[in-house]
Amino acid sequence: MTVAAKAPCSPLEFTVQVGERAELALGELVCASREIGHWGNVHFYGVVDEVDLTGDYLAHVRVTRIEPDVFFPPQPGSPVVPATGRAGEIALHFDEMRTTIPAGSLSYSRLNYLLNLDFLNGDKGAHVNIAGISGVATKTSYALFLLYSLFHSVAADTSRGIVFNVKGDDLLHLHRGNKLLKPSERDRYESLGLPCGPFRDVDYYGAEGPLWSLREFAERELIRYFFTEADQSGAIEFCVDRLAELLKEAATESPPGELVLGRTRMESLAQLCKAICGTEDDDSYWFEGAATNTRRAVVRRLKGATNHVKGLVGSTGRLNFDRQLSVIDLHRLSDKAKSFVVGSVLQSLFAEREKAESPMTTYLVLDELNKYAPRQASGPIRQMLLDVAERGRSLGIILIGAQQTASQVEERVVGNAAVRVVGRLECSEAEDSSYGWLTPVLRQRATMLKPGNMLIAQPQVPVPILIRFPFPAWATRRSEAADP
C-alpha cells in the first residue's frame, strides 16, 4: 500500500492506493512515513474513514497525529502500513495520557481503546453522553461498563456511582454474576486487563422503605420537586419558595431528627400535607399574600404529588451513598414520583458536595435524559442538570447521561460532555446537528451498529473510533442472575 498521487493529499488527510493482495477496512489505523530535510523521518498516523472500489482500490485516511508535530503532507508513493501495537497507541495519543481506563477494544486490531481519565473525572474535563435506540444501542450496558472499568482502576478508592434504574428490574441484580457469559467474553475481560465478575459493593434503594425522613424533606427544601411542571406561573413559584423556606425554618427549630410544626411532631408526609393544605382558604402563615386561586392551585398540586411520593418520605430515611455503587429503583414509580426522586437526589448530592472536603468523585448514571433536561421546556430538575453539566466538575459530580435522541436534550447538557458515545441511531436522528462530531460516513455507520459496538470520541483523539465492549459479567435482569 502507498500514498496515492490523488487528492486529497494534505497534512490532515490523504488517499491510500491499496495493493492487489492487501485489504483495508473502515476504522483501521495506518501509518505513512516521509523523509523531510532537517526534520528527519516524519510519520503520519491516521484512521481509514472511507473505502472505494469503484475504480482503483482507494482508501481515505483522516490524519490523527503527525510525529514530529510538523504539518507537511505525506509524499505520494510513500509506503503505508497498518498501525499496530505501539504505532497504534501513538496514532490514538494513548502514549500522552497520564491515567487511563479501558473503554473497549478496536475491531480490527488487538489494541484496547483507552479513555483519558483526566477528561472523565473532572481534572481537565468531565461528563459522558451516550445516545442510541432503546434496546439496540445498549446505552445503559456501556455506562455500567465504564463504571466497572473505573472501579477497577487507580481511581477506584475515590470513585462511586449512583445509577437510576428506569426499566423493570434490569439493574437490581448487579451484585450477581451473569450465567449467560461465554468463555470467549471472559477472555475479552482479561485482554482489557479487567477481572470478570459482578459489582461487589452495591446497595439498592426504592423497593422498600422511605428514602428521606420528614426532617430531611424539610431541611433540604425537597418540596420544590413536587412542582416540576414547565408551565408554572410566577405566583405559584413564589408560593413554593415560601413553603420551602418555612419548612426549612421549622426543621432548624425542631429537635434533632424530628420535624415539629407548632407543637405537633410530624409523623408522615400525609400529616404534613394536611397541616399545610388545611389553610388554603385563609391568608395564613403558609400562603401569606397569595391570591385565593393561587393558594388553591398550590394545594391541588401538593395533594396530588403527596399521593405519588408518600412512600418515599417517612419518619426515617435510609438513602445514603456509602457504598461504591448505589442503584435507585424508579421503574415502579409514576412520572411525578420519578421527577421528585431525581431532583431530590441531585439536590442532596449538591448539598453534600458543597460541604464535603473528601476527594470522592460521584458518577451519576441517568437514562432518559430527554425527559429530565428537555430542550424546549424548563423546570427545577432541568436547571439542576444544567448545573451538573456546567459546574458539577468542580464539585466532583460527573454526569453519565443517556438518551435515545440527543436532539431533544438541552444543548448545554450534551455540549458539556467531554466524552461522546453513540450506539445504533435512527437514520433521521443521525442527521441532526447534535451529531456534528461524527463524519458523514460515521453517521451512516451509526445506523448499522450492532449491540456491543459503539462510536466514541474524546478530546485527545481527533476522530471518533469504533470500539467493542464485552458482554456484561454482571446480571442485568433476574433471568441472567447466577446463584448468589
Q: What is the pLDDT of residues 124-178, one digit of tens each?
A: 999 999 999 987 768 999 999 999 999 999 999 999 999 999 887 888 899 999 9
Is residue 378 scored above 80 in pLDDT?
Answer: no
Q: Residue 33's pLDDT is what?
A: 95
Q: Are residues 226 and 184 in the same domain?
A: no
CATH code, domain carrying 85? 2.40.30
Lay out the sheet containing 112-116: strands in order across.
112-116, 100-106, 461-468, 453-458, 419-422, 128-131, 397-403, 361-366, 159-165, 325-329, 202-205
The 10s digit of each residue's pLDDT in 1-28 is 999 999 899 999 999 999 888 888 889 9
Query: 221 and 185 in one domain?
Result: no
Do 296 and 431 share a domain, yes or no? no
Boundaries of domain holding 353? 99-208+318-480
Contact 139, 443 (CB under 8 A): no
Check residue 232 and give its pLDDT: 67
Final residue of a structural domain among 62, 91, 120: 91
Domain co-membership, 368 together with 466: yes
Asked if residue 342 lies in contact with residue 309, where contact means CB atoms within 8 angstroms, the answer is no
Show the cell assigned to 304.
396530588
Residues 310 and 322 in one domain: no
- Is residue 204 domain-shared with residue 272, that is, in the same domain? no
Q: Which of 91, 109, 127 is the last residue of a domain?
A: 91
Which grid cell is 386? Answer: 444544567
Q: Please state, for a pLDDT cut of 70, what percent of the chain lies above it.
A: 97
Residues of the chain with pLDDT > 90, as a percent, come to 60
- Residue identified by cell 483522516 is 62
Number of domains in the chain: 3
Q: Do the Cβ atoms of 143 and 402 come closer than 8 Å?
A: yes
Residues 244 and 303 both lie in one domain: yes
- Mean per-residue pLDDT of the chain: 90
DSSP state of 333: S
Q: Are residues 303 and 224 in the same domain?
A: yes
**Residue 283 in this model has a pLDDT that exceeds 70:** no
Residues 363 and 455 in one domain: yes
SS3 category, 161: strand
Residues 180 and 299 in one domain: no
Write down the pLDDT at residue 280: 57
Picking from 271, 286, 314, the residue at the C-terminal end of a domain is 314
Q: Please tell me whether residues 328 and 474 are part of one structural domain.
A: yes
CA atoms of 222 and 245, how far apart (whole Å): 11
* pLDDT tens per residue, range 391-450: 888 889 999 999 999 999 989 999 999 999 999 999 999 999 989 999 999 999 999 999
- CA atoms within 13 A of residue 454's CA, in its CB half-sphere: 29
- Indicate if 147 and 286 belong to the same structural domain: no
pLDDT of residue 382: 85
Instruction: Tell me the DSSP string of 44-112.
Output: EEEEEEEEE-SSS-EEEEEEEEEESS--PPPPTT-BEEE--HHHHHHHTTGGG-SSEEEEEEETTSSPE
* CATH assignment of the domain containing 375: 3.40.50.300
Cell of 418: 467531554
Tens of pLDDT, residues 50-95: 999 888 999 999 999 999 999 999 999 999 999 999 999 999 999 9
